[in-house]
Amino acid sequence: MTEGNGRADWRRSLGEAGPLLGLGMQMALTMALFAGGGFWLDSKFNTLPWITLAGAVTGVAILAFYLYRLIRELDEKNRRSKDGR
C-alpha cells in the first residue's frame, strides 16, 4: 500500500463515518431541548410532570425517525457501492 492509497482510504472512511460522528451530541441536544423545554413549561404552568413527559416522548420519537432515515440512507449507499454504481 502506498502513501496515497492510505490517505484515500482514510478520507473515504471518514466520509462514510461522517453522518455518525455527531450522532451522540445530536441525540443529547434533542433530548435536552424537548425534555428541558417541557420542564420549563411545567414550571410555568404548574403541571409537573406532564409537559416534561410529553417533551421527552416527542424527543424520542423525533430521534427514532431520524435514526430510521439515517439507517435507510446508509443502507442505500451501501447497496449502491456493492452494485458498483
Domain ranges of the chain: 22-83
What backbone torsions phi and psi does residue 46 show, to the nearest 5 degrees? 55, 50
Q: Which residue has the higher pLDDT, 33 or 77?
A: 33
Burial of 69 (0-12, 13-18, 19+ CB in 10 A): exposed
The pTM of the full predicted model, rounded to 2 decimals, is 0.77
Q: What is the pLDDT of residue 31?
A: 96
DSSP label of 85? -
- Assign 3-class secondary structure to 37-57: HHHHHHHHHCCCCHHHHHHHH
pLDDT digits (tens, 9 = 90+) for 16-68: 787 788 898 999 999 999 999 999 999 999 999 999 999 999 999 999 999 99
Asked whether residue 74 carries a pLDDT value surpassing 70, the answer given is yes
Q: What is the pLDDT of residue 46?
A: 96
